[in-house]
Amino acid sequence: TVSADALPTVQVDGVVWDQVVVGGTVYAVGSFSSARPAGAAAGVGESARGNVLAYDIATGELLEWAPVTNGAVNSVDVSADGSVIYLGGDFTSLNGETTWRVGAVDAVSGRRVPVGASANGSVKAVEVSADGSTLYVGGAFTQVNSSARQRVAAVDLATQRLTNFSPAVQDYVVRALSVSPGGDSVVVGGSFTTVDGTWSPGLVLLDADGTARQPGAGRVIAAGGSRSAVMALAGDDRGFYGVTFSRTGSFEGMFRASWETGDLDVMADCHGDSYDVYPAGDVVYVASHAHDCSNIGGFPDAAPNQYWHAPAFTNYATGETLPTTDSNYYDYSGQPAATNLHFYPSFQIGSYTGTNQATWTVEGNDEYVVYGGEFLSVNGTAQQGLVRFARRDIAPNQEGPVDKGGAYPLTASSEQAGRVDLSFSTNWDRDDQTLTYAVYRDADAARSLEDFLALEPVWNQQVASSFWQVSTVEVADEVDPGSTHSYVVVVWDRWGAWTRSEWVRLTAADPEGGAAADVDEGAPAGEQAGEPAGDGLEEEPAGAGADGEDAEAPANRDQIRGGWRENGKRGGF
């Protein structure tokens, strides 16, 4: 996956519903009235924006491009040559000119350009065919250009006239569209239940002329009705992808199906409503509030509820879906299952829409993945509405082990003469599952990871762990009876991002004095207990692993015994 480092990005004062990436520019749309620089508090450095903006994907900085609508923009797409940006939403004015819910603007100047479509109801999706000839529109409308069109329509962009594409989506709303690379198939998603008189809950695959055919995936996944929908669709040469929310339907998660047959190729049966999907080669990123991926071997449900708003999955089946762990959900056991990948940035839920959500949209290119929504912070740093994540080779890679200092305790005891027993839990990292652990004795002068790596550890080992799979590590150190020592655990990922425990100082038991004395779970001599040693808690990559290679830990001492054991699920997760 990309790195979980949340890169500074322009912020908005509302919600971002959709984005499209064109070269090095991201066009973002939604419901907002202003934008401000990354790191700025609300009201500081604000620039007026009317539900539409553009930013540089490499820097995150706001661009001058600034069309204005008088209502929310729900969807955005781009012409095949990248010169025109198409908008769909609830607006009736674009740059001060009457524009009924479907609009177009120049990608450079932002000026309004004609598009030849006006809808009498909300537009939720706009999609341009790969050859650039046709604009598909979906939503809650019943007329386009005063001609009957039930929730989906198509415009010939050369003539700016409606085509004969007019399937009858007979109820609820169309929320998503995707066109096959060859242009011969169109997949439509939403909350509808019937298309051309045929039961098609939430998903229908259409020929280019609008003839409906029930996709095989639709026989497995039902997502229509008043409280269920296919929320987003995407497509590439491998097939079409969808994500759903479900209260009255049967499926929550991500799926991929074949353009030719519509049959299901892979699913991520990951409970929690999902809102957008972005396939990026062998990885699929989702905007969601996932809370239980245990059906595909991922993180389990937890109490109190813990949501992950940017889950990532393999774009291929790695096994079969397991029997459901919750009887309130449909059992998809035996279906081809993706793997839940180790990518866990954390988002603070926003309040703009009143729906307790964070991310609503995800897009990207070959270097970045960009999320949008109504979130207020990412990984604990204030960042409202938009954020970028970079490919590992261009990312700062500073998101290291999460538990730090006093939140990562080391305990020590000595009941046998000359033996010190140490115990600690495994840590976890937002984007690296395998971490290297090392226990050091009397390393009081070490301040950086490079300092520690120059020393010989008491014990070291690589351990794979996640936030829901925490193990207890136990290490025994043999020292002179009655001698006093300080200990610390250092943890780092393969990029050199690191942390350490607090220091523990104790006197080893001796044959005459019995158990250890002077156990001090604080700092070694010369430091205040509970304070980090110098800059030791900084997340700067340093020493081995800083160049992206696996960090090399020093060899174990022969006389040291160490091990780790499973300790069940971490409390609070």
Burial class, 41, CB count within 10 angstroms (exposed 0-12 / middle 13-18 / buried 19+): exposed
Residue 55 lies in a domain: no
Residue 31 lies in a domain: no
Length of the chain: 573
Interatomic CA distance for residues 63 and 66, integer angstroms? 8
Say if residue 229 is in the same domain as residue 87.
yes
Q: Name every residue whose Cβ is closer than 8 Å to that of residue 559 and which is 6 or more positions away in sequence.
A: 478
Say if residue 335 is in the same domain as residue 233.
yes
Residue 360 lies in a domain: no
Interatomic CA distance for residues 48 and 536, integer angstroms? 42
Interatomic CA distance for residues 197 and 205, integer angstroms? 14
**Which domain covers residue 545, as residue numbers?**
411-566
Say if residue 173 is in the same domain as residue 278.
yes
Helix, strand, or coil (residue 441): strand
Nearest to 232 by CA among 312, 313, 126: 126
Domain count, the chain: 2
Q: Cis omega (within 30 of 0) on the bond before 279?
A: no
Rounded to 5°, the CA angle 247-385-192 comes to: 30
Say if residue 120 is in the same domain as residue 260.
yes
pLDDT per residue as tens, the chain (573 positions): 999 999 999 999 999 999 999 999 999 999 999 999 999 999 999 999 999 999 999 999 999 999 999 999 999 999 999 999 999 999 999 999 999 999 999 999 999 999 999 999 999 999 999 999 999 999 999 999 999 999 999 999 999 999 999 999 999 999 999 999 999 999 999 999 999 999 999 999 999 999 998 788 888 888 999 999 999 999 999 999 999 998 776 899 999 999 999 999 999 999 999 999 999 999 999 999 999 999 999 999 987 789 999 999 999 999 999 999 888 889 999 999 999 999 999 999 999 999 999 999 999 999 999 999 999 999 999 999 999 999 999 999 999 999 998 899 999 999 999 999 999 999 999 999 999 999 999 999 999 999 999 999 999 999 999 999 999 999 999 999 999 999 999 999 999 999 999 999 999 999 875 555 445 655 443 332 223 333 333 333 333 222 233 333 333 322 222 333 222 222 221
What pLDDT, on a 0 to 100 scale, did the predictor assign at position 539?
A: 34
What pLDDT, on a 0 to 100 scale, did the predictor assign at position 405?
A: 87
Q: What is the rounded (10 degree) CA torsion for 487, 493, 496, 500? A: -20
**HSE-up of residue 536 (Cα within 13 Å, Cβ side):** 26
Residue 67 lies in a domain: no
C-alpha dihedral sign at 538, 539, 540, 545: positive
Interatomic CA distance for residues 548 and 541, integer angstroms? 10
Interatomic CA distance for residues 560 and 552, integer angstroms? 19
Helix, strand, or coil (residue 203): strand
What pLDDT, on a 0 to 100 scale, did the predictor assign at position 372?
A: 98
Residue 393 lies in a domain: no
Say if residue 483 is in the same domain as residue 345.
no
Interatomic CA distance for residues 426 and 447, integer angstroms? 21
Q: What is the DSSP letter of 546?
A: T
- Count of CB atoms situated within 10 Å of the CB of 326: 13
Helix, strand, or coil (residue 294): helix
Nearest to 514 by CA among 478, 486, 482, 483: 482
Say if residue 430 is in the same domain as residue 498.
yes
What pLDDT, on a 0 to 100 scale, did the predictor assign at position 28?
A: 98
Task: Look up tokens 């937002």; give the residue.
Answer: 430
CATH of the domain at 262: 2.120.10
Residue 303 lies in a domain: yes
Of 328, 353, 378, which residue is a domain's last?
353
What pLDDT, on a 0 to 100 scale, did the predictor assign at position 512?
A: 72
Say if residue 464 is in the same domain as residue 325.
no
Interatomic CA distance for residues 237 and 282, integer angstroms? 12
Say if residue 437 is in the same domain as residue 346.
no
Say if residue 164 is in the same domain as residue 262.
yes
Q: What pTM was computed for the model?
A: 0.89
Residue 493 lies in a domain: yes
Tokens of 403: 């538990």
Say if residue 119 is in the same domain as residue 215.
yes
Helix, strand, or coil (residue 515): coil
Of 353, 375, 403, which residue is a domain's last?
353
- Sequence-ordered strand ranges (E) for 3-62: 11-12, 15-22, 25-31, 34-36, 47-48, 52-56
Beta bridge partners, 314, equal 283
Say if residue 293 is in the same domain as residue 424.
no
Of 353, 381, 403, which residue is a domain's last?
353
Phi/psi for 278 (5° steps) reads -135, 105
What pLDDT, on a 0 to 100 scale, did the predictor assign at position 351?
A: 96
HEC-encoded secondary structure of 141-175: CCEECCEECCCEEEEECCCCEECCCCCCECCCCEE
Residue 455 lies in a domain: yes
Say if residue 185 is in the same domain as residue 326.
yes
Instruction: Encode burial over 530-543: b for 16+ CB neighbours within 10 A, e otherwise.
Output: eebbeebebbebbb
